[in-house]
Amino acid sequence: MRSKEVISNKLLELLGSLNKKEMKILGDFLRSPYHNRSVYVLKLYEELVKYYPNFKSSKPEKKILYSALYPGPDKKYSDTRMRNITSDLFILVQKFISIERFSADKFAGSIYFLGSLPAKELDDIFERSYRKTAASPKILRPQTEAGFLERLQLLEVRSVFVNRRKTGDAKENLECYQDIVDQSVKFFLSTLLKNYALMLNKQITFFKFEYDTSFIDIILGYMEKNLDRYIEDTCIILYYYFTLFYLNYDESSLKTLEEFTEENFYKLDKNDVLNAITNMTTFCRRQALAGRPGYEQKALGLFRLGLNGGLWSESNKIRPVVFRVIVSSACSCGEFDWCEKFIEEYSQIQPKEHIQANTDLCYARLYFDKKEYGKAMKFLARISIIDSTYKYEVDTLLIRLYYETGETEAYISKVDAFRKWVNNNKTVISARYRTIFKEMALYFERLMKLRLEPDEFLLQKMRCEIEENKTLVNRLWFLEKLQETRIETK
């Protein structure tokens, strides 16, 4: 039996990406003769709307759609005609999406409008429109590399205007060229430093790869000699300090980045500040994990800076992992009252699908650290596993709970189940994290063996290994339990 031919997947994917409001506006767009003169394209849209938004579950068949476009028994199905109408609709939907994006970008509209005026010799209109656009805070004080690019585009339009007008001004012409050069350099510096910092960050946290530093060394040398020249361009300085931080990854570069971020908190782009705080806290927590005092408090202080500065809100949700890290830092600092208040106040400012599970997980961590193990167990039992990060967090916290409450059989069983889960989910868990989780599972096993069969030599061997391993997850908890085991066996 021949399979039914359905409408183009490309078209359905494009239409499926539109929300209800956009879908309705698309209808108005297609009814406008300025954009569309084909009644059949409009009819096809009107038929497809009936399937919206369930295109994946019920894909419209070509012949059924064709019979709706060309009703009557005399109209024989033409696949060529159907494909042409489908193609025309696809092109118009693309155009619609582009126009909607363009309409939302007021600056782009201003640039195209200004660019059309010199040839029309509308000098007065150009001057008024130019002054209005140039007075925008986004142009006056760029907060990102995109701001420098927009300022550069505006200056280039200005340069064309000055060159073409009848009353040419050589001095203004020269000033335009100089401004274009200056903004080009700023755009170049901000883009280069930002992306180089991102690359270095990825290398520290995820990947190891070779990279050529010859050019960036020249740029860093230039920045070091000309720092005062860009002191008002806060994003360039931030990206420069970012790059130094990731290159050196030490206390000195952390301090410089931290001080600059705090001093210029409200001058910087919120996403850049959030990125700075997130990566500085990651550094601090690594140092704390390695047993260096004061870093957990510094991490919590940085999170408080972000919270007090309004970095997270209904329009900028807290990522679940960041929410958990804030709770973890607060608990590690013994700030239990503050932590509970944070969970209560900010739990709803998470992605909707994570609110319940992540909040329960954070309460479980809070009560575990407060040694209220019954309450911690109650919250863990309520959690529905959303993804592998929840599975890992719940299982390892449950393992530690079983250890603290002396439930040996449950502990051994859970460790075994955790190890099997890690081994059997190679496509879900990255190679890097499988290695980390396997190592942790092995230490869980060895810890229980030492509790059941104390051996001073093996205990000291395990303690030395963990003290050397500065990146082991739950490292400080393992060391604490080994110390307790040593005391109990004396």
Residue scoring higher pLDDT (470 or 183): 183
Domain boundary residue among 55, 89, 104? 104
Contacts of 460 (CB under 8 A, 6+ apart): none
For residue 150, being part of any structural domain is answered with yes
- Tell me which of 104, 134, 160 is where a domain ends: 104
Please check whether residues 238 and 260 belong to one and the same domain.
Answer: yes
pLDDT tens digits, residue range 346-365? 999 999 999 999 999 999 99
Q: What pLDDT sits at residue 261?
A: 95
Give CA–CA dist 253/69, Å, rounded: 67
Mean pLDDT, all residues of the chain: 90
Q: Do residues 257 and 113 share a domain?
A: yes
Tell me how far apart the alpha carbons of residues 240 and 264 are, in angstroms, rounded to a whole number.
Answer: 14
* Helix (H) or strand (E) run with residue 194 in it: helix 170-205
Tell me what pLDDT residue 1 has.
37
pLDDT above 70 for 166 = no
Contact indicator for 113, 129 with CB cutoff of 8 Å? yes
Residues 110 and 124 in one domain: yes
Q: Is the pLDDT of residue 76 over 80?
A: yes
**What's the average model confidence in pLDDT over 145-149?**
93
188-208 mean pLDDT:
79
Residue 194 covered by a domain: yes
Question: Model pTM?
Answer: 0.78
Q: Which domain holds residue 222?
A: 106-268
Q: Are residues 250 and 216 in the same domain?
A: yes
State pLDDT tens for residues 35-64.
999 999 999 999 999 999 888 777 888 888
25 falls within a domain: yes
Residues 89 and 125 in one domain: no
364 occurs within a structural domain: no
Going by pLDDT thresholds of 50, 70 and 90, the confidence category of residue 2 is very low
Q: Is residue 409 part of a domain?
A: yes
**Quick one: 243 and 262 in the same domain?**
yes
Q: Indicate the range of 77-91, 168-182, 227-241, 286-300 predicted with least confidence.
A: 168-182
Domain boundary among 59, 79, 104: 104
Q: Which contacts of 435-440 are long-range, i.e. CB under 8 A and separated by 24 or more positions?
A: 436/471, 436/473, 437/392, 437/473, 439/469, 439/472, 440/396, 440/472, 440/473, 440/474
Same domain? For 131 and 185 the reply is yes
- pLDDT band of residue 164 (cuts 50, 70, 90) is confident
> Which is higher by pLDDT, 468 or 3?
468
pLDDT reported for residue 154: 95
Within a domain: 366: no
What is the DSSP code (8-state) at residue 207? -
Residue 3 has pLDDT above 80, yes or no: no
Determine the pLDDT at residue 211: 66
Q: Are residues 470 and 427 in the same domain?
A: yes
Instruction: Judge if 222 and 131 occupy the same domain.
Output: yes
Q: Are residues 33 and 15 in the same domain?
A: yes
Residue 170 pLDDT greater than 80, yes or no: no
118 cis-preceded (ω within 30 degrees of 0): no
Q: The tokens 């390892």 sit on which residue?
A: 396
Give the number of domains in the chain. 3
pLDDT at residue 213 in the model: 64
Whether 146 and 89 map to the same domain: the answer is no
> φ, ψ for residue 252 (rounded to 5)?
-65, -45
Is 235 part of any domain?
A: yes
Q: What is the pLDDT of residue 73?
A: 74
Segment 393-436, tens digit of pLDDT: 999 999 999 999 999 999 999 999 999 999 998 888 878 788 88
Q: Could you tell me the pLDDT band of residue 8, with boundaries at 50, 70 and 90?
A: confident
Environment class of 231 (CB within 10 Å of its CB; exposed 0-12, middle 13-18, buried 19+): exposed
Percent of the chain with pLDDT over 90: 71
Q: Is residue 341 part of a domain?
A: no
In which band, very low, low, confident or very high, does the pLDDT at 371 lie, cut at 50, 70 and 90? very high
59 with 155, same domain? no
User: Per residue in 98-120, pLDDT tens?
Assistant: 999 999 999 999 999 999 999 89
Task: Report pLDDT for 216.
Answer: 85
